[in-house]
Amino acid sequence: MPPRANIARTPFRVKPDNSEFEGPLDDCNAAIIVPGFLSGSSDFLPLAKLLTARGIPTTVLPMPVWHWLPCLGGRSMRPMLERIDNAVRHLSAAGGDVSAVPRVGYSLADLWSDFRANPGGVFEVGGSSEPDEYPLVEPCGTFLPPPAPPKARVALVGHSAGGWISRVYLSSRSYAGKAYGGARLVHSLVTLGTPHGDAPGPAFKGVAWCNREAKPQGVRCLAVAAKGTPGDRSGALTQSSYAFCVEGSDGSDLDGDGLTPVQSALAFPGAEQLVLDRVTHFPWGDVFGGDVLAPELAMDYKAGMPWYGSENVVDKWAGWLSGEEL
């Protein structure tokens, strides 16, 4: 059965539709959390509740883990970008009412079509691993249109890969055939343990794409890193992950949050920076399979090392979203 996705192998590019804008939008304090690679909305609900309790109404991009499957192997992040765009536009149209963000209709047939057609990656689906050379492939799914034009700009909180994908969303450049221009709808971006540094391999092609431009004017950006999990004595996953993020290192000489080394998490051009001490990347002990995938990190977490979304850590960066000094 041929893929259901709409594929165009021409230089055609989709520009952001700003026809509904009559002028600059006011800012509201509502936020959307963009989960990291192979994590879903349920992993971040506790963080959303903590931010909401601090006066920042927050929702999580509505998606389960399996929605990431078409992006495996460093392929195009258009499926995720469509979800971000839909959520942002609904939240903006609702003036910050987080209950207005709908779920995306996404079937197994949609998943199969996206998995077959989504370009890029290790196998260069569509002919190239470079985002600027991807064919135009419209992701599958049912994305309900917002009921009204945008009313306000909102904030994004991107965890891990969700941070650099959010940077793609802010840009007015064409990524994989579409320019989202999300800076018109977003006033602030916080990235938590995001690998922002250039590194070899298809998985970092999107990061390199982001680093070809400065952060958008008019959008406040904060890159949050953490240290306290050295690569030479924190397990094989940590050392290999650090080496994956930094060219020329085997990971043993780096420090970070267990997955993203400090220097990569801070390599966001133009962003403010915050380095936390003794904070881990993810709540490994709270998720299924965490003890198997990252035994040393899960042990640290269970022994009391907090993650970026732990209550005492959130207090160190959440105020920045409301305009407080770091």
202-212 tens-digit pLDDT: 999 999 999 99
Q: Please give, one letter per residue, the 3-state secondary structure of the chain.
A: CCCCCEEECCCCCECCCCCCCCCCCEEEEEEEEECCCCCCHHHHHHHHHHHHHCCCCEEECCCCHHHHHHHCCCECCHHHHHHHHHHHHHHHHCCCCHHHCCCCECCHHHHHHHHHHCCECCCCECCCCCHHHCCEEECCCECCCCCCCCCEEEEEEEECHHHHHHHHHHCCCCECCECCCHHHCEEEEEEECCCCCCCCCHHHHHHHHHCCCCCCCCCEEEEEEEECCCCCCCCHHHHHHHHHHCCCCCCCCCCECCCCEHHHHCCCCCCEEEEEECCECCCHHHCCCHHHHCHHHHHHHHCCCCECCCHHHHHHHHHHHCCCCC
Per-residue pLDDT tens over the stretch 241-276: 999 999 999 999 999 999 999 999 999 999 999 999
- Collect the ranges in the chain with pLDDT lower than 50: 1-15
Determine the pLDDT at residue 19.
54
Q: Look up the pTM and report it.
A: 0.93
pLDDT, residue 1, reads 35
pLDDT at 22: 65
pLDDT for 179 equals: 97
Instruction: State the pLDDT at residue 288.
Output: 82
pLDDT of residue 300: 95
Residue 14's pLDDT is 45
